[in-house]
Amino acid sequence: MVTKTRRFKDDGDNPMTVQEKHHADQVFFNGAVYTVDKQHPWAQAVAVHAGEIIFVGDDQDVETLIGPRTRVVDLEGKMMLPGFHDVHVHLFDGGMQSLQCDLWDCQTADDVIDKVKTYINDRAGVPRSGFNVWDFKKPVPRV
């Protein structure tokens, strides 16, 4: 176990530390990590523990947070950006979508035909809604 390390160094040489001790659950390294911090805009590595970012810094320093159960991801020089993911549903649209024939897992034209036949047979006499091209994984099956 190692001491939880913070991003910035207090005197340029010694990492500031917090009292908790643990390994990271996930470590991302070898990347171009944009931090949105004007004083330290770029880093190479990020460590996460219990859903919280516990380290942002360079590849060498993050190694001390890697334990036997840490999931380690090589970013291969790719960029990592901070972000928020909005997950929500519009009540009316969500309700209408639940009535549609779900074609998401269809891989072939035959899959689409079978799924639509089953959908129609299971809902005899029930009002139905259509589908749109966004229901398909790429490439779109051709019927």
- Tell me: the pLDDT tens digits for 102-143? 888 889 999 999 998 998 888 776 665 555 555 555 665 555
DSSP string computed for 63-107: GGG--TT-EEEE-TT-EE----------HHHHHHHHTS---TT--
| C-beta separation of 33 from 44 below 8 A | yes
Closest CA to 24 of 59, 60, 71: 71
More confident residue, 138 or 45: 45
CATH class of residue range 3-80:
mainly beta
Q: What confidence score (pLDDT) does residue 13 get?
A: 45
Residues of the chain with CATH 2.30.40.10: 3-80
Query: Looking at per-residue confidence, does 84 or 51 come out higher?
Result: 51
Please tell me the predicted confidence (pLDDT) of residue 137: 59
Cα 37 from Cα 56, distance rounded (Å):
11
Encode pLDDT of 61-111 as tens digits: 999 999 999 999 999 999 999 887 777 888 888 887 777 888 888 899 999
Is the pTM higher than 0.75?
no
